[in-house]
Amino acid sequence: MEDSPAPRPTLPVAATAVWGVLLFPGLLGAALSPMFFDAPGSMNNPAAWANALIVASFPVLCLIAIAGSWIVWSVHRGRPRRHPPYAAIAFALLPVLPIAYVVAAMIFETVGVLMSGQPLGLHSTIIKH
């Protein structure tokens, strides 16, 4: 009986490349996340806290995705593959969660602005009639 070749680390390499590159802008975003609390009273705003934590979690999730996908690959390296490595896929996609949140928030905000009747790009308090 022939030994099956060891699986290639395609997913861990892809996760390392993608999230390793995006880690650096994520660190910049995390460093700037305290700006969510610049407005007066924003320290008591749960949305500001949620947004700051989501932005700050991105670089952490990038590191967990890279390490986790390599760990899962190394644990399952010698075993025959009967099904896709769901744990490795789940680890590799962890940083997509804050990205999906930001995209959804931008879509909802844009729809809200379009439905409000306000001029695009200008707030009503700075327009002198």
Angle at 66 between CA 70 and CA 17, to 5 degrees: 105
pLDDT of residue 80: 67
H/E stretch holding 17 reads: helix 10-32
The CA–CA distances, whole Å, from 1 to 4, 47 equal 9, 60
What are the sequence ranges of the domains in the chain? Answer: 10-126
pLDDT over 90 (residue 107): yes
pLDDT over 50 (residue 1): no
The CA–CA distances, whole Å, from 25 to 20, 31, 55 equal 10, 10, 11
Of the given ranges (25-29, 77-81, 107-111), which has the lowest mean pLDDT? 77-81
Say if CB 66 and CB 94 are below 8 A apart: no
pTM for this predicted structure: 0.78
